[in-house]
Amino acid sequence: MSAVATVYVPRDSSARAVGADEVADAIAAEAKRRGLPLRIVRNGSRGLAWLEPLVECAAASGRIGFGPVQPQDVAALFDAGFPDPAALHPLSIGPVEQLPYLKSQQRLTFARIGLTDPVSVEDYVGHEGFAGLRRALQMQPEAIVNEVTASGLRGRGGAAFPTGIKWQTAMRAAATPKYVVCNADEGDSGSFADRLVMESDPLVLIEGMTIAGLAVGAEMGYIYVRSEYPDSVHTLEEAMQAARAAGYLGDNILASGRRFDLEVRVGAGSYVCGEETAMLESLEGRRGIVRAKPPLPAINGLFGQPTAINNVVTLASVPIILARGASFYKDFGVGRSRGTLTVQLAGNVRHGGLIEVAFGVTLRQVLDNWGGGTASGRAVRAIQVGGPLGTYVPPSHWDIPLDYEAYAKFGGVVGHGSVVVHDDTVNLAKMARFAMHFCALESCGKCTPCRIGAVRGEEVIDKIIAGQDTERQITLLRDLCDTMVSGSLCAMGGMTPFPVLSALNHYPEDFQKGSDHASRRNPQKPAAVA
C-alpha cells in the first residue's frame, strides 16, 4: 500500500442526498485527528443506490467498499483499521466489482461511473475516454453516421428512433449553422440514468455530443437540463471547463482544426419541455409549447436550423460505439433492440439502482437477480415500466423480454427503461387518476385532447371510484382515452392513457366501489390474520 491511502466518497446527488458530504467531512476530520495522511476523491456513484453513501478504499486488487456509511460510523470504521482495505467492519461489502449486482451487468455506456472523478479529464482518458472522439476525428461525417446506424443504437429517451437515421437527416440538410441539442430534461418519475451520466461521468456526454457535432456538421451544442437537477448543472459546467482547458472542446479540438462547443441551458420546471419541440421553444426563450411536426427538427429545429436532438444516454452511448466499433455494440441485445438497456430499478424495492444489461432481460429476472424484494417486505403487485406514460405491467407479463418490439406487442413501452415497483398496498384506480391529474397539471395546452381530456379523465375516474354509474363511466373513460391517444400532438396527451388503460385492464377490481386496497392492505392497519 502506498504511503497515502486513497478513499472514494461519491459526489453524485444520490449519495449527497443521503449524507455523502457529511461522511467525507467526517472521514477527513477523523484522519486528521489520528494523524493519518489521506486523499479523498469525490468519485461518481456506481448506481447502487441502497449502498449510498458507498465509501471505497483503493487496494492492489481493486476497490474495497463500505456502505451505507453515515457520519457516526466513521470513527468505528477507523477503529477497525480503515482506510486499510483489509479493515473489517459490519459495513464492509468487500471488493465492489465482485458484488453480484455489478458483476452480472454489462456496463458499456456506464463503464466508468463510480470509478472516476467525474470532472477529471486525466481520469477519463485513463479509462478509455476520448478514444471514440479521436477515431471520429479521422473519419468523414458519412462514416461516423454509418457507424452509429450500423450499431443499431436507438433513442434511449423513450421513443427508440434509430439515432443514425436522425443524424443522417441532419447531416444531409443543407442549411447552416446546425446544432446538436441534448435533451437532459429527465422528468419521468423512476428514471435517473441521465442524471447519473451528468453527475458521475459527464465527460462521456461531452464526448458523445462532440462526435454528433462532427457527424452532422454542427459547431454548437446545447444541453437542456431540468432545474430540479442543480447538481447536474454544476458538475456539467465543471466538466466542460476541464474539457475546454484540455483541448477537447473549443475552436480547435485536439489540434484538428475542427470546432465544437457546448452550453448548458437550465429548464424551469415544465415536464412537457422533455418533448423535443417544446424543448426547442424553451431554448429559444418562449413558453414550452409543443410544435406540430413536420417540419422535423433534424431539418428545421433550433432557431429554424437543422438540429440533431438526442437524449443523454443515447449520446453517452456513442463514444464506445466509435471506440470499439459498431459490431461490438450490436452484438449485445435481441431482435431490433441492439446494445444495452439501462434498467433503472426504483420505487418500492430493496436494492434499487442502475442495471445496465443487454436488451432481452425480463422483469422477473430484474426483480429476482437484482431487486432483492420490496423495501416494505410485502408482495409486488404492479410494476410501471417506462415512466409516468408507461403501462402498469401485471405479473402475467413479467416473463416478456425487455425489448422494444416485444413490449409494443402487448401495448407496453420499454421507454428509457425505468422500472417502478409497487407493493400490494397500491391502488391502481388511484394511480390511474394520478396519471390524468399529472397530465392536467403539465399539459402545455396547445391541443384539446390533452388539455381538456386530462381534466375530464380525472373527473370520470373520480365518478368510477365513487361508484356513480360505473359501467357507463368506464365506457366513457375508454372513449376519452381513445381520443387522447389518436388526437394529441405529443406523447404527453397521447400516452397518458397507457397507464390508465393498463390499470383498468389488468386491475379492474381496484375500480369497483369500496375497493380500497390502500386501507384494506395498509401495513399500519393490518387486516386480521385469517
Q: Which positions lie near another protein, rule CB under 8 A?
A: 13-14, 16-18, 49-50, 52, 186-192, 194-195, 227-231, 265-271, 282-288, 303, 344-349, 352-354, 375, 384, 388, 418, 420-423, 426, 431, 434, 438, 441-442
The nearest distance, CB 256 to another protein, in angstroms, is 26
Give 228: exposed, middle or buried? Use CB within 10 Å, 0-12, 13-18, 19+.
Answer: middle
- Is the CB of 212 or the CB of 302 nearer to another protein? 302
Yes or no: say if 405 and 453 are a contact pair by the CB < 8 Å rule.
no
The nearest distance, CB 75 to another protein, in angstroms, is 20
The nearest distance, CB 196 to another protein, in angstroms, is 8
Residue type, 305: Q
Cβ neighbours for 279, distance < 8 A, ≥ 6 positions apart: 181, 183, 185, 224, 273, 288, 309
- Is the CB of 167 or the CB of 192 nearer to another protein? 192
Quote the DSSP letter at residue 290. P
The nearest distance, CB 352 to another protein, in angstroms, is 3
- Is the CB of 291 or the CB of 338 nearer to another protein? 291
Cβ neighbours for 301, distance < 8 A, ≥ 6 positions apart: 179, 181, 280, 307, 309
The nearest distance, CB 1 to another protein, in angstroms, is 33
Estimate the share of the chain in helix, then strand, then coil, as percent rounded to the nearest 5: 45, 15, 40
Residue 398 CA to residue 418 CA, distance in Å, equals 14
Q: Which residues pair with 220 in a beta bridge?
A: 179, 261
- Is the CB of 56 or the CB of 194 nearer to another protein? 194
The nearest distance, CB 85 to another protein, in angstroms, is 26
Category of 160 on φ-ψ map: left (φ > 0), alpha (ψ -120 to 50) or beta: left
Category of 523 on φ-ψ map: left (φ > 0), alpha (ψ -120 to 50) or beta: alpha
Q: Which three cell numbers stand for residue 281?
A: 421553444
The nearest distance, CB 354 to another protein, in angstroms, is 8
- Is the CB of 333 or the CB of 493 nearer to another protein? 493
The nearest distance, CB 209 to another protein, in angstroms, is 18
- Is the CB of 151 or the CB of 427 nearer to another protein? 427
Distances (CA, A) of 402 to 176, 301, 334, 397, 496: 39, 32, 9, 11, 21
- Is the CB of 134 or the CB of 234 nearer to another protein? 234
- Is the CB of 57 or the CB of 419 nearer to another protein? 419
Q: Which residues pair with 260 in a beta bridge?
A: 250
